[in-house]
Amino acid sequence: MDGDLPPHSPLKGEEEMREIKFRLYDQVLKRFIYEDEYVKYPMAALKGLVMFPQQFTGLKDKNGKEIYEGDILDHYATSGAVIFEDGMFCLNMQAKVNFGYRQPLCYIDVNQAEIIGNIYENPELLAPKE
């Protein structure tokens, strides 16, 4: 199939494909459950639990930590939560400048960004600064 794709195609070669994976935040246990844990349980065991799925963006921060939807990033003069909106991952800038402005992650140098928390364990990081 690679022979049919233009040389600049993001679908060219497996090394270019983003790994699709999720983590779940368990509201009761107050912790994240990653794929290697939740695939061990039958779906019936997960029924009734209050869990919020978050998808891996395919990107890593400056420390090599995987960036998931719901993570809070610090990036230069701004910070905010990673959200999935309109078919793309964005940084919903909130804490320092540009309150409420959404920037697609593809336009951000995530190699200079750092995960400082997430929306479930550190919601105070999203409070507007005075």
> Domain extents for the chain?
2-126
Cβ pair 20, 88 in contact under 8 A: no
Per-position DSSP letters for 64-97, written without gaps between them: SPEEETTEEEEETTEEEEEEEETTEEEEEE-SSS
In this prediction the pTM is: 0.74
Confidence of residue 39 (pLDDT cuts 50, 70, 90): low
Enter the tokens of residue 96.
């320092």
3-class SS of residue 43: helix
Highest mean pLDDT, choosing among 5-9, 63-67, 82-86, 90-94: 63-67
The CATH code of domain 2-126 reads 2.30.30.290
pLDDT digit string (tens) for 20-37?
888 888 887 788 888 777
